[in-house]
Structures are given as structure tokens and as C-alpha cells.
Amino acid sequence: MDIVWQILIAVFIVILTALVILKLYVESIKGKCTSDVDLSGKVAIVTGANTGIGFHTALDFARRNARVILACRDLVKGQMAVDKIQEETGNKNVLVMKLDLSLMKSVREFVKLFEEKETRLDILVNNAGMAGLPLTKTEEGFEVMFATNHFGHFLLTNLLMDLLKKSQPSRVVNVSSLAHNWSKGIDFENLRAEKDYSIHNCYFDTKLANILFTRELARRTEWTGVTTLCLHPGPVNTKLLHDAFNPVLKPLHPIAAACFVKTPEEGAQTSIYCSISKDIEGVSGKYYVDCKEAEEQSSEMSKDMGVAKKLWEISEQYTGLAENN
């Protein structure tokens, strides 16, 4: 029995040592935005900003004196976030506006109200996202996850493009994920779950769509003064990560969070960097990780401009944007 206990203790020590080493490694590669840029006079929108990395992105912009609009589905939670940001920064130029990205009608209403109130837009951070959802269709016929993660942001960005061009140099920042590498390729005949549905494949495809959208938008806005970037924030301890965990593996979430995962504030650093850093002025269509360009970490599919163009054209049709042009 003594030998068994000695073996168990030895195994525990080895595992603990490995976790400590891995934790130190993860800490060493975390990127941090060190820019001292002041955003006085600038206007920024951050979608899904009531919690997680969106909240900390908005908080950072507010600290830099920007006028910040938290575009949130839940106005109560959004106002709580606004109150907290105003209290921490002293910036009273922070507000919440209703936006449900799964409904194109809500996107259009948001843009109409925004344009009535604002005369410029310098930074648009398409941050909101969903993961781990069972198949759910909206009243407009969209699958909720793809609508929220891609179609809503596609329509939002395009409807705000005139203001972004007017305010140039301006930036559009799309929050993607390393998970795009696990996409098997976007099925253009199944973007609204017409044939079948896989929780994980749908999420992977939406994250691939974020990068393809970034690259095609960059191509279409070349020489306009609007630059577009996308990023992987890293594994971040948010509700999104928790929801993405397989139910069988959910008990491991606290361990993963403690050892391998960034805090929401750390996870927001690359979003902030892509939004404000002077080091990347004029750069467009690129993929970033830990505040560094990381094209080598994006899949070959995410660089296929033919697929990007096709996704754009179908997105125009599905969201009704084609009717605006």
C-alpha cells in the first residue's frame, strides 16, 4: 500500500510540475497592447460589450477618452456594463444601444439610430459571438449562431461603411478564433442549416467566415482609409468558452481556466492592439494573435479569395444588402 501511495504522490508531483511549467509558458507568450494612443474625439462601437473581452475592449477605449457605444442584445446588462465603465474611468461619454445581431431587422434599426445621433465612426469592433448552441432558427430564417457570428456583423459593417470612410483613417476589427482551422470548409448550401446541423462545425465555420470577410472587405476598401483586421484572442475564460465545452468535459473547465486560459482583460489585448496601434497603420486584411501578425497560424482556406468573394456575394443576398446597392 505504501508503494501505491508513493506512486500516486509521484504522479501528482509530475502533473503539478508540468502544469506549472505550462502555466509559466502561457504567461510568457501573452501579448499586451502597450500603445499610449489617446482617443479623444473618436467614436467606437464594440458589439457584445457587456461582458468578457468586449467589455474590457470598451473599458480600454473609455480610458483613452473615446466616445464608446456598447452594442448589446440585453439592454439591462449593457447598462450595468456602462455604469461600471463610467465609474472606473470617469468617462461619461459611454452608452449602450440595442443590437441583436441574429436579426437583420435589429441591425438596420441600430444603424438608423446610430446615424441619427453620431456624425463619425472611427473604430468598429465586431466582437459578439455565440458558441455551443443547439439548432435554433430566427424569425427571419437564419440559424442563430451563423447569423450572430457572421451575417449580423457583415450587414452592420457594410451599413456603417459610409461613416467609416468619412471618418478615415478608421478601422474594422473582427474577432475570429484559432478554431477556424478546424473548419472542413463552408458549405454554401447550408449556411442557414438547411440540410443538417453540427454545433461544433457551425462554430468553426463562422470563425472561418470572420477571416474570409476580413480579407474580402480589405480588398474592397483598399485606398479608402478604412483598414480591416481580424484576430484570435486566445483561449479566454469567458461564458463563450464555457458554453463551447463538451458537456462531458465541463468539469475540466475550471482547471483549464486556471492553467491555460487568459483572463478577459488579457484576451482583449489583441482586439485593442488591432484597433489603435500606430505600428500597423495602413495594414489591412491580416490575422493577428497576441498582438502580432500571425498569418502562418491561419488556415489555407482562410486565404482563399475565391471563397471569400463567394461568401460575400451570398451574404449580400441573405442579409438583403444587395437590395441597398
Q: Catalytic: 203?
A: yes
Eight-state DSSP code of residue 14: H
Helix, strand, coil percentages, rounded to 5, for the chain: 55, 15, 30
Q: How far apart are the first and last CA of the chain?
A: 77
Task: Please pick, among 203, 287, 288, 318, the residue that the annotation labels catalytic.
Answer: 203
Place of cell 437564419: 142
Element (H, E) at 146: helix 144-146
All three cell numbers of 137: 432558427
Eight-state DSSP code of residue 140: T
Question: Is 123 buried (19+), middle (13-18) or exposed (0-12) by CB count in 10 A?
Answer: buried
Residue 124 three-state SS? strand
As a whole number of angstroms, the distance between CA 147 and CA 318 comes to 10
As a whole number of angstroms, the distance between CA 50 and CA 76 comes to 9
- Indicate which residues carry an active-site annotation: 203
